[in-house]
Amino acid sequence: MKASFLSAVVGAGLTHALPTIEAVGNKFFTSNGDQFFLKGVAYQLTPADPLVDTEQCKRDAALMEKLGANSIRVYHVDPSANHDGCMDVFEKAGIYPLIDLDTFDTYILPNDPWWNQTQHDRYAEVMDAFIKYDNVLGFFIGNEIIIQADQSLAAPYIKAATRDMKAYRDKKKYRKVPIGYSAADIAELRPMLQDYLTCGGNSSENVDFFALNSYEWCDPTKYAESGYANLQSMAKDFPVPIFFSETGCNVPGPRLFGDQNAIFGPEMVNDWSGALIYEWIEEENHYGLISYGPKLEPTATGANIEGGFTRAGTPTPVLPDFTNLQNQWATITPTGIKRSDYDPKHVSTRACPTSGVQGWLVNGNVALPTIGETLTTNAPRPAATQEAEVSQPAGSASPTSTKNPAPMNKELTGMSAGLVGVMLFFTFWL
């Protein structure tokens, strides 16, 4: 059933104890039964944890309310820290965080993938720290791990991590917070990866949502010219919620955020669940919606100064980008459908991609590696009486001793973000 004339919950209501969110079919729904669309921003002030300074969260959340945001993405957190203050602030502001489970030393490596007990336990620590907050919208199992076709053999490890984190969530009897993946918008990979992570018919292994870091829409442009029509064609009746986990091209600038009308408009709203704008803080890449002070020398030192930018204080809108986005969101009221009226049977389960298509290396529904095992075959999934061809890695080598050599969510300043992905897009574009 297509969307009915029912206003979805988008940044509305500043009440405490927000309704929780679940993924059903290709939509998000609140526990009140209303469809939920993301209007959010990437929020990572430093490489460390932005959810530990309650006073800073208060200042930022107040301005996010004025912007019209209802969600944030946080790339890195410290599970041992106390997040009660910031999470309470964002809950009162009607804002739902999405949290990345991986850390700087637990990435699944793209060229030499692993999924071992150390990684599992570190991911679990992050989940344990945030699962208690009702306004947690979801967890990312990874961000842009695969950025080229010859890294696609890492895909079974992404799926294995998803399987094990969902199993951990359920074993602990936690709320079924959706667990998904944030992908780079690489044309030769996108269709195979999004289909692979949702194929096979086993919901315990598949992602609960698929998100895309895409900078294809560069103002001024139109829907048909931007590349969004192509993205929409591959998202039609997708089996799980799909949304933009980063967007907001800043070339040539200023940003007009015209893509928001497309994402929440009739072309895409039945299949997409919204967007997260990159990013909250102004840095060297000039994607910021706010700043905490003028740019400084890269060598400048002092409290809350890093990479030539102040990273705390009173947030000041970067104009005209902030106002342009604020005005766009103010005029956008996506329609939705009641959970009770929604029939998820119309979504389409995708076939597992075969190897050889545009360089994709995973052949069908391969048996996933268990914790500590290495996948040594890309043959189709064996029969129930057969064993998958996996091998125990030699010695005690661990990926936790080596940082991801190509983490796509780190900026030139060392922060977690999507700048490299943006640069890669422009390389292809040019």
H-run or E-run covering 130: helix 117-130
Torsion, Cα of 137, 138, 143, 144 (10° steps): -90
Q: Which of 22, 91, 216, 246 is catalytic?
A: 246
Known catalytic membership, residue 246: yes
- Is residue 172 a contact partner of residue 235, using CB atoms and an 8 Å limit? no
Q: Which of 91, 144, 373, 411 is catalytic?
A: 144
Known catalytic membership, residue 144: yes
50 conformational bin, left if phi > 0, alpha if psi -120 to 50, beta if neither: alpha
The token pair at 240 is: 């799980």
Position 107, amino acid: Y
The token pair at 169 is: 């969530």
Buried b (16+ CB within 10 A) or exposed e, 162-195: bbbbbebbeeeeeeebbbbbbbbbbeebbbbbbb
Distance CA 369, CA 355 (A): 18
Written as one string, the DSSP assignment of 43-89 is: --SSSS-TTS-HHHHHHHHHHHHHHT--EEEES---TTS--HHHHHH
- What is the set of active-site residues? 144, 246
